[in-house]
Chain A
Amino acid sequence: MSQNGQHPLPLIMMRELADNVATPLFLVDRNGVLVYYNEAAEVVLGTRYVEAGSLTAEEWSARWAAEDVDGHPLPADKRPLAVAMKERRPSHRPMILLDASGARRTIEVTAFPLLARADEVVGAVAIFWDCEVAP
């Protein structure tokens, strides 16, 4: 959150969008801290946001570990959200998500940075596509 007790407007608007779409959306702030995911993402992640709460990048990367499609561990810095934040560009990849119970779910993730100004990344958003239930 900013020093003024309010999230930057792009995060607010993205959360509002997330609350009104059935597309799974996962939102992090400028430090990579998880600040919100919507009900559709709860289905993919297996946990309600109110139960998970705000998590640092290290915490949420550990909570939802990832593998590439060949089953090799996917380092945190190779995940689309990390790439979007670090390289300030959209990033996409299929991957396997592992939840705390060890359940595996194949998803595709597209992440992109949120820029408040041309030189200011205030967060990033990831869109999940659940390949196991997709038509």
Chain B
Amino acid sequence: MRARIWGCRGSLAAPGPDTVRAGGNTSCVELRTESGELIILDAGTGLRALGLHLAGEEPRTIHLLLSHLHLDHLEGLGFFGPLFDPKVEFHFWGPPSPVTSLKDRIARYLSPPLFPVNIADVPSDATFHDVPSEEFEIGGARILAAPVSHSGPTVGYRISENGRTLAYLPDHEPVRGGDLREMAPGWISGYSIARDADVLMHDSQYTEAEYPSRVGWGHSSIAHVVTYAKIAGVKSLLLFHHDPLHDDDALDRKLERAIELWGDGDGTPALATEGLQFELT
């Protein structure tokens, strides 16, 4: 399995000279299974550039796994070329809602007055799936989706192939008002997703100083994400979903703090950056 990050900014795209190193596009990660199947995690603004990159390849089947439907995870969709290609079989996967279908929830954005084209009218062959409670399979990769603590229906994804696992929790506040270190793992949101993962891509939106005034907003502090990764026993931590108000220098300081909190032991936290590629083999 190969991964490439096309967007790792949180909440709002933040392009400009101060965010060049980490990038300003919102959440979007390209995955390729060993069999070549294309899986995309989230449809943030990074999806636009991925669509351009795919133009020469002309993929016939695309699986888009949405963690949730906040705009920063969806707004690239209308500018993703393959969505408008009638030869493409497009599978949307996302968190279930007790009242509204995934298609109708996506259509709230992809329809007038917010967007000129309705999702029902796009030329590609689109199918909409509520993620199942049980593990499912795409192109040889086993995928587990489980609800996690954020604002509104949200899932994290655990993608495994050939014994290697990527955990993706871009928007996650694992505890509100408690202390993660005092909790049994089974009582921690998303533990089943992150447990023993080779790579964990996790929300790291706030500094420890910022978090107290943002409790309940659905995101993690640096201390949260490091503690969470340690409890889950992950081998490698990628700090993801950077706050749009944090420039590159601020992200460097957050990374320094994460490394300090991580301490000794295997692996070292790293910043997710646009263009970063890695393999899980």
Contacts and interface: CB of A to CB of B under 8 A. Distances in A.
Number of contact residues on B: which range applies? Answer: 20 to 34
A29 to B, nearest CB: 11
A88 B169 CA distance: 31
Contacts, number: 51
B178 A120 contact: no
A117 B147 CA distance: 11
B221 interface: no
A101 interface: no
Interface residues of A, number: 19
B53 to A, nearest CB: 34
A5 B192 contact: yes
B177 A19 contact: yes
Interface stretch (A9-17, A37-45, A74-82, A92-100): A9-17
A4 B149 contact: no
A22 interface: no
Interface in B176-210: 176-178, 185-192, 195
Given A5-B195, A7-B187, A118-B98, A16 B133 contact: no
A81 B87 CA distance: 53
Contacts of B133: 116-117, 120
Contacts of A5: 185-186, 191-192, 195
Interface of A: 1-2, 4-9, 12-13, 15-16, 19-20, 115-118, 120
5 contacts: A6-B192, A9-B189, A12-B149, A13-B189, A115-B98
Interface of B: 96, 98, 133, 144, 146-149, 175-178, 185-192, 195
